[in-house]
A and B are shown apart, each in its own frame.
Chain A
Amino acid sequence: MAAPSSAALLAPEVVSRLGALDFIARSLVEGFLVGLHRSPYHGFSVEFAEYRQYLPGESVNNIDWRVYGKTDRHYVKVFHEETNLHARLLLDISASMAAQPEKDRISKLEYGRLLCAALSYLFIKQNDATGLVTFDTMPREIIPPRSSRSQLNHLLRVLHQAQPGEKTAVGEVLDRLAERMWRRGLICIVSDLIDEPDEVLRGLKHFRHRQHEVIVFHVLDPREVDLDFGREARFIDPEHEIDPVKAQPWHLRESYRATIDAWRGRLARECRMHQIDYVPLTTDMPFDRALLAFLNKRAQLR
């Protein structure tokens, strides 16, 4: 029997059935890392870890010449990585995130919860100080960044207990959070960003203005992207701000897709302009895409 690929193992529907969040987070991250060529755990820092034989092709900068002098062999010093990176995960828990157009896929909130759990694990594993903010119209739970191992459990518990809120005010909340977070760091926003785009962008820019590095994980349900419904239905706003509408989706699909594409295009464009990483995700995508985006960002910060 062929071994399942790591991408298959990271499929959201599979992952969501695994159970305990810490187990999920570990499985996600370890499973993901197995597929990468270079281990990110070994970096350069002050705390010595071990010697290792030099391998041809490596940078000669890292050779310990003193040992070479004594042993006539090339050894490289390996250190435990240390960081002073402050990472904050911002998870949108508004009602729109909890909405499931069809029951065959996990909700955006669930997807965000899993993603945040994986990221937390990854952060803590690298000794990054990691915090979490859940929000809807206002911040609901704020956990300041810490790098201790117990922080992971704390984060996972809060993620696990996060209940969907009511309305959304992404732009406003981001704005307010940016105001409060004075210490520079990495901001990971997990949200469907359903708010006035101008407001959202204003909030994001505010983080940038405060010298934060920002990754936006823009999570949508695939049906919210392509409007793939086969029947006439009443569409309800989960936050009850807009009256329900009846529609025959197949008549609207084309123009709707254009609207959504324009929205996501604008967000991507503006984020690029302000050096914000914009990662469009749908809940049927494996988590590796998000994790890879994060690692790229992390590498830039080194």
Chain B
Amino acid sequence: MQFLNPIFLLGLLATAIPILLHFLSRRRLDEIPFAPLRFLLPTQERQMRRLNLRRLLLLLLRIAIVTAVVMAMARPTLTGGLASLVRTGEGASVVLLVDASASMRAETTTGTLFDAARREVAQIAAGLNREDEAAVMLFDQSAKALFSEFVRDPGLVLAELDEAEASYHGTDYLNAIESAMDLLQRGSRNHREIYLVSDFQAVEQDTLRLARFRERLKSELPTNIYLRPVSGEPFVNRQVVRVDRPPTLLRSGQTAEVGVVVRQDGDSELPVQLFLQIDGTTVGETELRLGVGSTQRHVFPLTLPDTGDLAGSSRLRPDRLPVDDERFFVLSVGAQVPAMVITGIEGLVGERDPMLFLEAALDPTGRGDGNFALTRSLASELDPDQLVKSHVVIGVDVRGLGAARLAALGDYLESGGTMLLFVGDPRVRSYTNEKLLPQWTELRLGSFRGEEETHERLEISARDHPALAGFEPEELETLKEVQLRNFYRLPETLGRPLLSFQDGGAAVVELEVGHGRIILCGFHTAATAGDLPYSPMFLPLIQRLAGYLATAGWGRFGRHFELGESVALAAPDGSSATDQFDVVDPRGGRHSARLDASVAPARVQFEAAEVPGIYSFERDGERWALAALNVPESESNPLRLTAQAFRDGLGESGNARFRALEGESARDALRGARQGLAIHRWFLTLAGLLLIAEGLMSRRVSGSIA
């Protein structure tokens, strides 16, 4: 017999409780002086003999009850010959679900975690019965069965598993379990089992997704899901967390700043050597001392050599988990960013016209050679085709959009577009609150602060935000000197505040809308709003905010993706269905990509990215873009869950019964787990019966006092 929770055997100490009670109850008796004691003696002796016997029996019963409960909690399991005697004989449909995500590439003294998982699977397979049928699935972000059918001979499956290796993708446990459930529907046995072999790295679960998952499990047949953790020796992980590209237009010959964020999770200070490479050549190198469990940002100055896309990476020397020691990025040099300015304001002149200052900030020379290739449009004349080509939309007064154009703007944002929206003009308040904002957010403009006499200063709320991170401290101080008098205070809870007002409320908030983003400014850009337009920081702030939105790299205009995501780039101008689109992966492999012309603008999609690195997109053999694919940051999470914590994270899960498969050998643990259920129920039943007997016996001992 084995115990799955042997720690509970400590509960056997609780058998001392009935023994103690037994002796305490004996000692507590009152003394009664009783003269005719001689007449009591003959019957008393008979009765006490009987009573003592019953008491002894009662004590034994109580000890047995405690023992039975403790045994049940310790999950005793039968193994060997005895187990085969009580086994039901009916087989089970078994899915062996093996974690092949990037974190499984962590190296141990005996190979990678994935190798360890392979060994565990082999052991589990060896522990299956002849009547069982098995299938093996590998999962990361997605799940894939090695065979589409269940097989009776696990050897076949294992041979296939030997060929497999861990991917660079993230982990999606819920999808994996659901896929295993799907596969089990093809099984022919009544008993259903899933063995989940994983390092159980903590992955944040989306609440909505989790609720759907639980709902799904409710409709499933009862399934035992055994959780088998694999783990290597603990190690200190160093990683490149991310690379911040400069949120401005990059020009050939300029010096740009590339910020690299590195982290270590150890408990002592650690020197790390950090490299920056551009197109395979090391252009920067530094040694950092990382404090205990700390994150540090290092800025590499980079002289931009050329026009076009630059492929770069920042890396550390590889550690036990090499997948997060290098992050790739792409810098687009030289190209102007297509931007659209939408306005409805007419009739304002001079410093009362917000467009005057805004256009000056976006196109400082007035010759159209700035960072942005500007298109101006009145709200009432907005051309949706032009809109979808813009990487960023700057809106000042969009009241004249009308329903159709407003919907087009919504679609644009949902599919990855971005907008910098100024709402400081009190005349646009009702339109903004009633038409514009309800499409994307709960946020509404409050009452307008229009005191001309007093001024209010700005505070920096998110110093590390990419749009603000590049500013020098003195520049930020200058920004804080700005005095505003006409503005809306925005709620701070409904987005990420970048700038706030000194007396509370946000001035600039970033909101996520579908795949796109909006940066909402509670002021406008005319002199009536305050002295912001005259501030030396006005131009840099507008450039950074718009530049960040246009280039920071999400949605369809981004060049940076996590492995496992669908890679989609806006197709080059003039693309047609007859063009041949190819993708060259970092190893030189050539894959074909698909042109999706059903959306505007048309996109080139590529799904089969497997390794991290720079992917080159070609049209008819000619490169037109680069994209950087990195391992999801969540795979670097040093937090490993126990099987119990993993199960707790999933919560109540319908008909699925999650059990930890613990023990030295997975094979024994499997046998134990399979028989553990039956035998611990035996003990519970026994405890119940003993409890009834105890009730009857204790009534006889303590007696109904007639």
Q: Cβ of A242 < 8 Å from any Cβ of B?
A: yes
Q: Contact at A248–B29, with CB atoms within 8 Å?
A: no
Q: Contact at A232–B35, with CB atoms within 8 Å?
A: no
Q: Cβ of A100 < 8 Å from any Cβ of B?
A: yes
Q: Contact at B33–A100, with CB atoms within 8 Å?
A: yes
Residue of A224, A234, A251 contacting most chain B CB atoms (<10 Å) = A251
Q: Cβ of A57 < 8 Å from any Cβ of B?
A: no
Given contacts A246-B48, A247-B44, A247-B47, contact A235 B37 (CB under 8 A): yes
Residue in A192, A231, A252 whose beta carbon sits within 8 Å of that of B35 in the complex: A192
Q: Cβ of A142 < 8 Å from any Cβ of B?
A: no
Segment touching B, from A10-18, A65-73, A119-127, A254-262: A254-262
Q: Contact at B48–A247, with CB atoms within 8 Å?
A: yes
Write the nearest CB–CB distance from A121 to chain B, whole angstroms: 28
Q: Cβ of B573 < 8 Å from any Cβ of A?
A: no
Q: Contact at B33–A247, with CB atoms within 8 Å?
A: no
Kindly state the separation between the CA atoms of A262 and B654 in the bound complex, as whole angstroms.
73
Contacts of A194 in B (CB 8 A): 35-36, 38
Contacts of B48 in A (CB 8 A): 245-247
Q: Which residues of chain A from 196 to 248 have a CB within 8 Å of any chain B CB?
A: 220-221, 224, 227, 229-239, 242, 244-248
Contacts of B704 in A (CB 8 A): 250
Kindly state the separation between the CA atoms of A194 and B36 in the bound complex, as whole angstroms.
7
Residue of A nearest to B26 (CB): A246
Q: Which residues of chain B from 9 to 38 have a CB within 8 Å of any chain A CB?
A: 29-38
Contacts of A246 in B (CB 8 A): 29, 44, 48
Q: Which residues of chain B from 36 to 84 have a CB within 8 Å of any chain A CB?
A: 36-45, 47-48, 51
Q: Which residues of chain B from 247 to 292 have a CB within 8 Å of any chain A CB?
A: none
Q: Contact at B705–A235, with CB atoms within 8 Å?
A: no
Residue of B nearest to A235 (CB): B34
Write the nearest CB–CB distance from A193 to chain B, whole angstroms: 10
Kindly state the separation between the CA atoms of A242 and B34 in the bound complex, as whole angstroms.
11
Contacts of B45 in A (CB 8 A): 245
Residue in A230, A231, A242, A248 whose beta carbon sits within 8 Å of that of B41 in the complex: A242
Q: Cβ of A134 < 8 Å from any Cβ of B?
A: no
Residue in B31, B38, B42, B47 whose beta carbon sits within 8 Å of that of A248 in the complex: B47
Write the nearest CB–CB distance from A72 to chain B, whole angstroms: 67
Residue of A nearest to B704 (CB): A250
Given contacts A245-B44, A246-B48, A250-B705, contact A236 B36 (CB under 8 A): no
Q: Contact at B705–A231, with CB atoms within 8 Å?
A: yes
Interface residues on B, range: 20 to 34
Kindly state the separation between the CA atoms of A248 and B29 in the bound complex, as whole angstroms.
11
Q: Cβ of B706 < 8 Å from any Cβ of A?
A: yes
Contacts of B43 in A (CB 8 A): 252, 255-256, 259
Q: Cβ of A147 < 8 Å from any Cβ of B?
A: no
Q: Contact at A263–B41, with CB atoms within 8 Å?
A: no
Write the nearest CB–CB distance from B48 to chain A, whole angstroms: 6
Residue of A nearest to B38 (CB): A242
Kindly state the separation between the CA atoms of A96 and B36 in the bound complex, as whole angstroms.
8
Q: Cβ of A162 < 8 Å from any Cβ of B?
A: no
Q: Contact at A229–B32, with CB atoms within 8 Å?
A: yes
Residue of B36, B38, B47 contacting most chain A CB atoms (<10 Å) = B36
Q: Cβ of A99 < 8 Å from any Cβ of B?
A: yes
Contacts of B51 in A (CB 8 A): 248, 251
Q: Cβ of A101 < 8 Å from any Cβ of B?
A: yes
Given contacts A247-B40, A248-B47, contact A233 B33 (CB under 8 A): no
Write the nearest CB–CB distance from A248 to chain B, whole angstroms: 6
Residue of B nearest to A98 (CB): B33
Residue of B nearest to A192 (CB): B35
Q: Contact at B32–A248, with CB atoms within 8 Å?
A: no
Q: Cβ of B703 < 8 Å from any Cβ of A?
A: yes
Given contacts A250-B705, A260-B39, contact A233 B30 (CB under 8 A): yes
Kindly state the separation between the CA atoms of A288 and B29 in the bound complex, as whole angstroms.
38
Q: Contact at A99–B39, with CB atoms within 8 Å?
A: no
Residue of B nearest to A262 (CB): B39
Q: Contact at B32–A234, with CB atoms within 8 Å?
A: yes
Contact with B along A85-119 (1 / 0, CB 8 A): 00000000000110111100000100000000000
Q: Contact at A220–B29, with CB atoms within 8 Å?
A: no
Residue in B35, B39, B706 whose beta carbon sits within 8 Å of that of A238 in the complex: B35
Contacts of B703 in A (CB 8 A): 248, 250-251
Contacts of B32 in A (CB 8 A): 101-102, 229, 233-236
Kindly state the separation between the CA atoms of A250 and B48 in the bound complex, as whole angstroms.
12
Write the nearest CB–CB distance from A225 to chain B, whole angstroms: 9
Kindly state the separation between the CA atoms of A29 and B9 in the bound complex, as whole angstroms.
76
Contacts of B705 in A (CB 8 A): 230-231, 250
Kindly state the separation between the CA atoms of A229 and B705 in the bound complex, as whole angstroms.
9
Write the nearest CB–CB distance from B697 to chain A, whole angstroms: 14
Residue in B30, B33, B35, B40 whose beta carbon sits within 8 Å of that of A245 in the complex: B40
Given contacts A231-B705, A245-B48, A247-B48, contact A252 B33 (CB under 8 A): no
Kindly state the separation between the CA atoms of A288 and B38 in the bound complex, as whole angstroms.
30
Contacts of B47 in A (CB 8 A): 247-248, 251-252
Kindly state the separation between the CA atoms of A233 and B703 in the bound complex, as whole angstroms.
13
Contacts of B41 in A (CB 8 A): 242, 245
Contacts of A229 in B (CB 8 A): 32
Contacts of B36 in A (CB 8 A): 192, 194, 220, 224, 260
Contacts of B35 in A (CB 8 A): 96-97, 99, 108, 192, 194, 221, 224, 237-239
Write the nearest CB–CB distance from B40 to chain A, whole angstroms: 6
Kindly state the separation between the CA atoms of A242 and B39 in the bound complex, as whole angstroms.
11
Residue of B nearest to A252 (CB): B43
Given contacts A247-B47, A250-B703, A252-B44, contact A242 B37 (CB under 8 A): yes
Q: Contact at B29–A237, with CB atoms within 8 Å?
A: no
Kindly state the separation between the CA atoms of A244 and B34 in the bound complex, as whole angstroms.
9
Kindly state the separation between the CA atoms of A29 and B35 in the bound complex, as whole angstroms.
30
Contacts of B40 in A (CB 8 A): 227, 235, 245, 247, 252, 256
A235-B44, A259-B42 known; 11 other A-B pairs, CB under 8 Å?
Answer: A108-B35, A227-B40, A234-B29, A237-B37, A245-B37, A245-B41, A245-B45, A250-B704, A250-B705, A255-B43, A256-B40
Shortest Cβ-Cβ A-B pairs, 4 listed: A96-B35, A99-B33, A235-B34, A255-B43
A-B pairs with beta carbons under 8 Å apart, 15 shown: A101-B33, A230-B705, A233-B29, A233-B30, A234-B32, A235-B40, A236-B37, A245-B45, A246-B48, A250-B706, A251-B51, A252-B43, A252-B44, A252-B47, A259-B39
